[in-house]
């Protein structure tokens, strides 16, 4: 999975150095979610038919395409549940996050 390299934010020293527009250049990603996820999606490989609907609807792009089923990049997943809601075979269930 090719993801952009994390960029550090350098605090401007003068008002003219503050960015105009988005705060970061394109390609900035966090290393992992902020830890506020309550539920996480778990894929049942036996039920998954690899239709990739979850891959298409995931707002965070955390679904990873596999040979026979999908998996989840938990470092980036926010636990919204859209993937589980849209799965036609109920192959994705939302499980309470353990700390």
- Separate counts of helices (H) and strands (E) for the chain: 2, 4
Look-up: residue for tokens 């705060």?
Answer: 23
Every domain of the chain and the residues it spans: 39-99
SS3 per-residue string spanning the chain: CCCCCCCCCCCCCCHHHCCCCCCCCCCCCCCCCCCCCCEEEEECCCCCCCCCHHHHHCCCCCEECCCCCCEECCCCCCCCCHHHHHCCCCCEEEEECCC
Q: What is the pLDDT along the chain (99 residues), one digit of tens a residue?
A: 677 777 777 777 887 776 666 555 555 556 676 678 899 999 999 999 999 999 999 998 899 998 999 999 998 899 999 999 999 999 999 999 886
Per-residue pLDDT tens over the stretch 59-85: 988 999 989 999 999 988 999 999 999
**pTM of this prediction?**
0.67
- Tell me the fold of 39-99: Alpha-Beta Plaits (3.30.70)
């Amino acid at each position: 999975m090719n993801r952009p390299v994390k960029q550090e934010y350098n605090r401007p020293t003068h008002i003219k150095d503050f960015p105009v527009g988005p705060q970061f250049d394109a390609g900035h990603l966090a290393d992992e979610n902020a830890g506020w996820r309550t539920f996480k999606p778990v894929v049942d490989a036996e039920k998954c038919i690899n239709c990739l609907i979850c891959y298409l609807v995931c707002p965070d792009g955390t679904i990873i395409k596999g040979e026979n089923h999908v998996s989840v990049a938990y470092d980036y997943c926010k636990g919204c549940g859209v993937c589980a809601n849209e799965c036609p075979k109920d192959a994705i269930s939302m499980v309470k996050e353990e700390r």
